[in-house]
């Protein structure tokens, strides 16, 4: 059978080849609980915001202004609003009626949409790796693969978190949006293969992070409908919370007349380009909290004048606080995948089974995202299969005309060539570090992002160990139900992986003897980037920004390591955890939380 060069899961499924036309509007209404506006009456367009009353006095001042309605920002806002007036500003729109976001079948389409209204903002790191940033209420939980698993006890201890409160905060999330998956056949085969090759014991279905093989939770329900962090806003006090969508923060405003700069408000643009300012209350304890993600938070701090002085002055940004560590210490968990073609269609599945090895790598899997006839001719924009998995067009020759010609030729490829699934290996705790730096002063523009994949030799060794595990899985008896995979077939798959344009890194084909080179050539992302506002360098242990008053950062930018196998559970937990902690610090036992 014809074999097509593989995609990486992230970019793969995103670059993958599924249905182009959406038929889910009725399903969304049937699976939902009525109109979203009735359930979330506090969500509105940014253009409806007014800072002043008719008499020129401040009408809208808030006890907390949260910048970024993502994975951490939504549970944080819901929690703080139980006692105080909160404004949550989000640059994207709402996820509730977006079929690309709401259904697992459309996972790759949202990622491949590079329009200005997409839920995902495409970027290419300076390493040459394709990536995406969330741009929607609910953040990364709206565009990810849905896998839910907690961080291990050692991670919690190292972070200095209160384990009792942590163990109260995870269930708060889980009761609202998480459930046990229906295990797909591909996931069952991976589970049995992991056990066959010694990744044991089998820990069953669990949220816990333990060595061995397990099935984790998911934010997709049994209808394949996604339940994102945005739904955690249902726990908010609707009378104390305002959520503005399509509100793009330009900068945080500071009063610099005292010994330390003091955050006083947030300046943002609405969907029509009009500028607004939201004011922070003068009450003691009021704060601005930045929760814009590992890329967005250091980016906003720098645009607001907090960062390396030389870099800020280069773009004529007024320096509020010189801190050379803002945007530094960035890391991304490198991912490498093998595409395994099958002899029949495979049920679609995203991450459900995981192997937590003692070699510093995690093994996961996905399947069935390339079987639709429409997918062969589907054009997904610049992040598409036309210039991704199947393209042989050199980067500098990827004109609109060349891509269109390739798309037409692709129609002649047999549908069977796209059947199969992916086995993924991800480095657990990468030691390689990069940084973020400003390119422009426009908040809509991506900063320059570097991860320096495999710059540390230990990361490269772990990748090689992971690929060897994937090879064993592909040859295990449990995959014979799908395909025969001998050494010759595996070598062919590895070579086709190297040839596939899953990134912009120069390729070294026919080099399966060097798994180190294979790792470097085929590295992609799984969106688990973190760092940029780390504890002890940019923020204190209580997440307050060092050197300024009334400003915190609460999200994955504060992590030195990505928690568990997949971080979304811990980021949502942290939003709830920090919200409760802030309330208890401010109100004491009266917080009632």
DSSP 8-state code for residue 565 = S
Give the count of beta carbons closer than 10 Å to the beta carbon of residue 346.
Answer: 24
The dihedrals phi and psi of 163, each to the nearest 5 degrees, come to -65, -35
DSSP 8-state code for residue 556 = G
Known binder of ligand: residue 226?
A: no
Q: Are the C-beta atoms of residues 349 and 367 closer than 8 Å to each other? A: yes
Sign of the alpha-carbon torsion through 306, 312, 317, 318: positive
By C-alpha distance, which of 537, 568, 565, 560 is closest to 432?
Answer: 560
Euclidean distance between the first and final Cα of the chain, in Å?
A: 60
Q: Among 108, 209, 380, 528, which one carries the catalytic annotation?
A: 528
Q: Quote the CA–CA distance of 132 and 411 in Å, as a whole number.
A: 27
Known binder of ligand: residue 528?
A: yes
Q: Are the C-beta atoms of residues 198 and 208 closer than 8 Å to each other? A: no
Query: Residues 117-121: contacts with CB within 8 Å, 24+ apart?
Result: 117/93, 119/92, 119/93, 119/95, 119/143, 121/446
Residue 455's contacts (CB-CB under 8 Å, 6 or more residues apart) are 432, 433
540 cis-preceded (ω within 30 degrees of 0): no
To the query of whether residue 528 is one of the catalytic residues in this protein, the response is yes
- Under DSSP, is residue 33 helix (H, G, I), strand (E, B) or coil? coil
Q: Quote the CA–CA distance of 565 and 361 in Å, as a whole number.
A: 9
- Under DSSP, is residue 320 helix (H, G, I), strand (E, B) or coil? coil
* Residues paired with residue 244 on neighbouring β-strands, in sequence order: 44, 89
Known binder of ligand: residue 249?
A: yes
Q: Quote the CA–CA distance of 519 and 515 in Å, as a whole number.
A: 6
Residue 99's contacts (CB-CB under 8 Å, 6 or more residues apart) are 22, 24, 25, 28, 106
User: Strand 321-322 and strand 306-307: pairing?
Assistant: parallel
> Alpha-carbon Rg of the chain, whole angstroms?
23
Known binder of ligand: residue 527?
A: yes
Q: Quote the CA–CA distance of 520 and 362 in Å, as a whole number.
A: 18
Known binder of ligand: residue 556?
A: yes
Q: Are the C-beta atoms of residues 466 and 336 closer than 8 Å to each other? A: yes
Known binder of ligand: residue 91?
A: yes
Q: Quote the CA–CA distance of 190 and 354 in Å, as a whole number.
A: 8
Q: Are the C-beta atoms of residues 561 and 332 closer than 8 Å to each other? A: no
By C-alpha distance, which of 176, 180, 268, 278 is closest to 230?
Answer: 176
The residue behind tokens 């726990």 is 235
CA 26, 30, 31 angle in degrees (round to 5)? 115
Known binder of ligand: residue 3?
A: no
Q: Are the C-beta atoms of residues 200 and 212 closer than 8 Å to each other? A: yes
User: What residues act catalytically?
Assistant: 528
Binding site listing for FAD: 90-91, 249, 527-528, 556, 567-568
């Amino acid at each position: 059978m014809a074999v097509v060069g593989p995609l990486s899961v992230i970019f793969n499924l995103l670059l993958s080849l599924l249905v182009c036309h959406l038929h889910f509007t009725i399903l969304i209404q049937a699976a939902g609980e009525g109109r979203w506006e009735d359930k979330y009456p506090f969500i509105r367009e940014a253009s409806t915001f007014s800072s002043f009353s008719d008499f020129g006095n401040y009408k809208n001042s808030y006890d907390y202004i949260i910048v970024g309605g993502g994975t951490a920002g939504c549970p944080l806002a819901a929690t703080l609003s139980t006692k105080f007036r909160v404004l949550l500003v989000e640059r994207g729109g709402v996820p509730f009626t977006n079929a690309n976001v709401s259904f697992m079948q459309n996972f790759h389409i949202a990622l491949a949409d590079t329009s200005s209204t997409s839920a995902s903002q495409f970027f290419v790191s300076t390493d040459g790796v394709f990536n995406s940033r969330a741009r929607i209420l609910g953040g990364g939980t709206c565009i990810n693969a849905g896998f839910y698993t907690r961080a291990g006890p050692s991670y919690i201890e190292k972070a200095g978190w209160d384990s009792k409160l942590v163990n109260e905060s995870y269930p708060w999330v889980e009761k609202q949006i998480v459930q046990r998956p229906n295990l797909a056949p591909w996931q069952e085969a991976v589970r049995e293969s992991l056990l066959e090759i010694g990744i044991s014991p089998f820990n069953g279905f669990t949220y816990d992070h333990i060595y061995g093989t397990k099935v984790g939770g998911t934010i997709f329900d049994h209808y394949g409908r996604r339940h994102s962090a945005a739904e955690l806003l249902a726990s908010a006090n609707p009378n104390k919370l305002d959520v503005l969508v399509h509100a793009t923060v330009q900068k945080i405003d500071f009063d610099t007349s005292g010994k330390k700069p003091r955050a006083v408000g947030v300046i943002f643009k609405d969907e029509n380009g009009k500028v607004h300012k939201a004011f922070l209350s003068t009450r003691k304890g009021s704060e601005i909290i930045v929760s814009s993600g590992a890329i967005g938070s250091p980016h906003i701090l720098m645009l607001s004048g907090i960062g390396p002085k030389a870099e800020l002055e280069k773009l004529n940004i007024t320096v509020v606080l010189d801190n050379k560590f803002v945007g530094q210490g960035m890391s991304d968990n490198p991912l490498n995948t093998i595409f395994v073609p099958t002899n029949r269609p495979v049920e679609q599945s995203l991450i459900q089974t995981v192997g937590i090895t003692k070699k510093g790598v995690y093994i996961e899997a996905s399947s069935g995202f390339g079987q639709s006839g429409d997918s062969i001719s589907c054009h997904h924009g610049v992040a598409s299969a036309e210039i991704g998995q199947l393209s042989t067009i050199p980067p500098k020759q990827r004109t609109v005309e060349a891509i269109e010609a390739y798309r037409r030729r692709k129609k002649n490829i047999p549908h069977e060539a796209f059947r199969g699934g992916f086995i993924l290996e991800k480095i657990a705790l990468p030691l390689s570090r990069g940084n973020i730096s400003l390119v422009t002063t426009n908040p809509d523009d991506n900063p320059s992002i570097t991860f320096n994949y495999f710059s540390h030799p230990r990361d490269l060794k772990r990748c090689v160990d992971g690929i060897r595990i994937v090879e064993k899985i592909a040859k295990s008896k449990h995959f014979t139900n799908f395909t025969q995979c001998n050494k010759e077939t595996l070598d062919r798959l590895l070579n086709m992986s190297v040839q596939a344009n899953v990134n912009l890194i120069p390729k070294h084909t026919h080099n399966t003897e060097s798994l180190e080179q294979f790792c470097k050539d085929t590295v992609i992302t799984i969106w688990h980037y973190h760092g940029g506002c780390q504890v002890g360098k940019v923020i204190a242990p209580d997440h307050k920004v060092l050197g300024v008053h009334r400003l915190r950062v609460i999200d994955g930018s504060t992590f030195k390591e990505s928690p568990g196998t997949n971080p979304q559970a811990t980021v949502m937990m942290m939003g709830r955890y920090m919200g409760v902690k802030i309330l208890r610090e401010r109100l004491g036992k009266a917080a009632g939380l």
